[in-house]
Structure 1
Amino acid sequence: MKTRIKNGQMVVKDNQLAPVEIWIEEGIIKAIGTDFSSLSFDEVIDAKEQLITPGLVDVHVHLREPGFTYKETIKAGSLAAAHGGFTTVCAMPNLNPVPDTAEKLSAIYDIIKKDAVVKVLQYAPITEELRSEVLTDQAALKKAGAFAFTNDGVGVQTAGTMYLAMKEAAKQKMALVAHTEDESLLFGGVMHEGAVSKKLGLPGILSSTEASQIARDVVLAGETGVHYHVCHVSTKESVRVIRDAKKAGINVTAEVSPHHLLLIDEDIPEDNGFWKMNPPLRGKEDRDALIEGLLDGSIDCIATDHAPHGLEEKNQSFLQAPFGIVGSETAFQLVYTHLVKPGIFTLEQVINWMSTKPAELFHLSAGTLRVGQAADIAIFDIRNETVIDEKEFESLGVNTPFVGWNIFGETLYTLVDGKIVWKKEEK
C-alpha cells in the first residue's frame, strides 16, 4: 500500500511553515519532499495546505476498561484520541480489576489488540490494588508489557513504600510515574483553597497537598536513581521543587495538562461538578508558573489526563461529583488557539511538548516525522475557526467546561502506521 499526502505544511521553526509532501509505503514513511506527483500511489490524501505534524503522544489517559465501561471503553477512548490527533496514548491502571499481575495486564492488552484504533500502552500499578502497601511484581509486569508504574488517582502515602518501589523500578530500568497527593493534608477538599472556595462554601485543597509529596519523592529519586515522572503539575510550589531537583541533577520529569494552562479557580462560575478535577484548577500565579515552567524546561511535556465520567455523576455539586475532565479531543486545539495564536508559545514548542518530548522521555518510537519511522501522522486545520461541540465527541464522556469554546486546529486526519483511523467527515 502506497499513500501520498500532498499539499501539506510542516513547521520548520517557531510558527513558520513550509510546503511538504509525505510518501508512505507499507505503514512506514518512505520519503519526505515537496512533490511526488510523478509517482503512482494507491491512495492520495490532500492536506489542503494545512498543518501536518507527527502523531501526538499522550502519556496520561484513562480508558476505564475493564470495570467502568459506562464511562469509557478502549474502543471509544482510542477513537477520541484519534479525533484529537493522538496516535499513541498511555492508559492509567485505576481499573477493576487493577492490572497488578501479568495475567490481568495481558487481558487488557487482548482488548487493546482487538479494539484500539491508536497505539495504546498500559501502565501497571506500583502497589497491589493501588491503595495497599504491597509492591507489585515489577519484573513480571514489565515482561507482560507494562509501559511504566503508577498509582494514578491516589498518591503513595508511605515514603518507605515509595522508596522500595523506586529502587525496584530503577533496577528494572522503568519509569515511576506519580500522582502526588498527601492525603493527610486533604481535609475533605474538593477544589483549590482560595477566595473562590470560600465564596462557594466548599472545602479547599491546599497547594502543599501536591508539592509536599513531590518534595519527598525527588529526594527519594535522588537516592535511587530512578526516572521519576510527576503527573499533572498544578502549583507554583510544585514547579519550584521540580526546577530545583533538576538543577541538582535528579532524574525528574513532569507533565502539565491543558486545563491547568488555560483555566484558574476564578473561572469557576458556580458549584458545578464539570469544573471538578484533580488536581483542581489553581490560582493565577500557579497558572503563570506552569507556563513559565514549560518555557524554561522545568516541565517537560503536555498530557491531557483525559478522565471521562458518566453525565449524571458529573452533573452534581463539587461535594458529590467525581474528579475528572475529558481532554483527548480538545487538547491540541485549545493549546493552539489560546497559547500559540496569542504568541505565548510557538507551534514548534507545542508539537515538541505534545509529541516529540513525551516520546523521548519514555523511549518510544514516535513523535517525529522521519524517513523509516512508522507513519503516525496528524493533519490539523489551523486556518478555520470551529466550536467545541460535545455531540461530535467520540468519547463516551462529555465532562468538560470547554464545550462552546471557539477553537482553531480541528483535526482533519489521523493516521496510524499509514492507515487513516480518523477523518473529518465533509458536511
Structure 2
Amino acid sequence: MKTVIKNGHVIDPSQDLDGRFDLIVEDGCIVELGENLPAEDADEVIDADGLLVTPGLIDIHVHLRDPGFEYKEDIVSGTRSAAAGGFTSVACMPNTKPVNDNKATTLYMINKAQLEGFANVFPICTITKGQKGTALVEMGDLKQAGCVGFSDDGLNVESGDVLRRAMEYASGFDMPIIAHAEDEGIKCGGVMNEGRVATELGLAGNPWVAEASTVARDLMLAELTGARLHVCHISTRRTVELIREAKARGVKVTCEVTPHHFTLTEEAVRGYDVNAKMGPPLRTADDVKAMKEGLADGTIDAIATDHAPHHVDDKNVEFNVAANGLVGLETALPLALNLVKEGVLTLNQAICCLTTRPASVMRIPRGTLAKGTAADITLIDPDYQWTLDATQMKTKARNTPFDGWELTGAAMMTMCAGKITFQRNS
C-alpha cells in the first residue's frame, strides 16, 4: 500500500528539517521525502495542511503492568494510550509480576506488542534478579532477546559495589544502566517534598538530597567505569547541576524529566490530592524552573512520562498509603508544547526531546523520517484546544491530576510502520 502525506510542516531534528515537505510511505517504510511529490498513483492521500509532521514520538519510561497487573494496564491498552498521545515507541519498565529479569518475559512483551499492540515496545530489564539488589541479571542474554537497558525501577541499587559491577558488565554490551536515584534511608518514608507545604499538611517529607546524593554517587561510579548512565525522572535543581557538571567532564550520562515535574509544584498536593502523589515527589517552584533551564540548555536529554497506571482502589485511600504515580501518555505532548508557548523551548527543541534524543539515549532505531526507515509518523495540531476528560482516556487508569485541564496541542493521527494506529475525531 502506498500512502502520500502532503502539505505538512515537517519537523525532523535528526535531519535538521523544518519546512513544508511531502512524505511517501510504502510497505511500512518511508520511501521518499521532498517537495511537491506526486500522489496520482497513491492508495491513500493524507492532507496534512496546518499540521506538524514529525517522527513518531518516543517515550523511554512507561509502565505497562503486563504481565501480572493487567487490571491496572496491559500491553494493548497501554500502547493504545501511547498512540492516542502521538507515541509510536515506548520503553517499558520491568516492575511487572514476575519482574522482567529474564529472556522469556522480555520476549513475551515484544511478541504481544507485535501481535496486538498499537506501538513498538522496547523492554527494559532489571539490573538485579528479582529487583533484590544483589545478584546481577544475565545482561548478554537479555540484550540478545531485545532488552534496551537495565533498571531496578522504583528501587535504588543501594549497594555501591553491586552497581559498580552492573555498570562494568553493562558497558561491555554498550547498554545503559537506568537509575532510579533515591536514597531510601534519607527519604525515610517521606510521601511528598520536604518543606513548608508538607509541614502544613502534616505529611512526612522527602528532601531533595535523597535524590541528589544518589545521583552524585551514580555519576562518580559511571565516571570510574566508563559506563553509560541514564537518570530517570529528575526533579531537583541540585540534580540538574550535578549532571550538567558531569557532562562537562565527559561522563557518559543522560537524563529525563517528566511533564509533571516541569509543570506542577508541591502546591498540587494541597487537598491531599492522591493523583499528585508520585516518586520522586513534586518539588518547589525553583526546582520546576531548574527543569526548564535544563531542557533549554540540553542538560536534560529527553521528556519521558513515567506513565504509571493504577486501579482506583490503589489511589482512593489515605494519602500516606496511596500508590505513587500518574498516567501521562495522553497529556505529555500538550504539556511539552506549553514550554514552546512559554518560550522555554523552540518547537524544534520540543520535538527533539520527544523523538530524536530519546531514541539516541536508548539506541532505539526510531525517531527519524529518513528515507528507508520505518514509517513511524505523528501528525500534530499544535493549536488544537481540548479539555481532558479522564473517563475518555484510552488507558485503563484514571489517575491524573490534569483531569479537567484545558490543553492546547494534540496528536491528530499516529502511524506506526505505515499503519494508522490512532486518528482523532476533530
- TM exceeding 0.5: yes
Offset from partner CA, 1:391-424 (integer Å, 9 cap, x none): 3211011111111111121211000111101111
In structure 2, the residue matched to 1:349 is 349
Paired AA for residue 411 in structure 1: A
Query: Deviation at 1:30?
Result: 1.4
d(CA) in 2 for partners of 1:136, 1:287: 36
d(CA) in 2 for partners of 1:301, 1:359: 9
d(CA) in 1 for partners of 2:339, 2:185: 36
In structure 1, the residue matched to 2:160 is 159
State whether structure 2 residue 172 is matched by structure 1 residue 188.
no
Superposition pairs of residues 194-273 of structure 1, within 5 angstroms = 194-273=195-274
Superposition pairs of residues 96-135 of structure 1, within 5 angstroms = 96-135=97-136
Between the two proteins, the alignment pairs up a number of residues equal to: 423
d(CA) in 2 for partners of 1:17, 1:219: 39
What is the alpha-carbon root mean square deviation over aligned residues?
A: 1.6
State whether structure 2 residue 243 is matched by structure 1 residue 278.
no
Paired AA for residue 245 in structure 1: A
Q: Which runs of 5+ in 1 are unaligned?
A: none
Residues 272 and 316, structure 1, Cα contact 8 Å, conserved in 2: no
d(CA) in 1 for partners of 2:383, 2:249: 43
Secondary structure at 2:320 match in 1: coil
Paired AA for residue 101 in structure 2: D
Paired AA for residue 410 in structure 1: A
Query: Deviation at 1:17?
Result: 6.3
In structure 1, the residue matched to 2:409 is 409
Offset from partner CA, 1:321-375 (integer Å, 9 cap, x none): 1000110011011121x21112221110001111011112222221122222211
Secondary structure at 1:44 match in 2: strand
Secondary structure at 1:413 match in 2: strand
Query: Deviation at 1:142?
Result: 1.4
Residues 231 and 253, structure 2, Cα contact 8 Å, conserved in 1: yes
Residues 272 and 317, structure 1, Cα contact 8 Å, conserved in 2: no
Offset from partner CA, 1:43-100 (integer Å, 9 cap, x none): 1222242111110111100000011111100000001111111111000000100121
In structure 2, the residue matched to 1:360 is 360
d(CA) in 2 for partners of 1:317, 1:50: 44
In structure 2, the residue matched to 1:392 is 392
d(CA) in 1 for partners of 2:136, 2:38: 57
Residues 60 and 305, structure 1, Cα contact 8 Å, conserved in 2: yes
Residues 274 and 315, structure 1, Cα contact 8 Å, conserved in 2: no
How many percent identity over aligned positions? 42
Paired AA for residue 250 in structure 2: G
Residues 272 and 315, structure 1, Cα contact 8 Å, conserved in 2: no
Greater Cα shift, 16-25 or 224-233: 16-25
d(CA) in 1 for partners of 2:374, 2:127: 31
Residues 3 and 43, structure 2, Cα contact 8 Å, conserved in 1: yes
Secondary structure at 1:188 match in 2: coil
- Runs ≥4 in structure 1, deviation > 6 angstroms? none
In structure 1, the residue matched to 2:370 is 370
Residues 114 and 120, structure 2, Cα contact 8 Å, conserved in 1: no
Query: Deviation at 1:114?
Result: 2.3
Query: Deviation at 1:384?
Result: 2.7
Q: Which runs of 5+ in 2 are unaligned?
A: none
Query: Deviation at 1:297?
Result: 1.8
Greater Cα shift, 148-157 or 339-348: 339-348
Instruction: Give me the TM-score of the superposition, normalised by structure 1.
Output: 0.96
d(CA) in 1 for partners of 2:342, 2:171: 41
Instruction: Give me the TM-score of the superposition, normalised by structure 2.
Output: 0.96
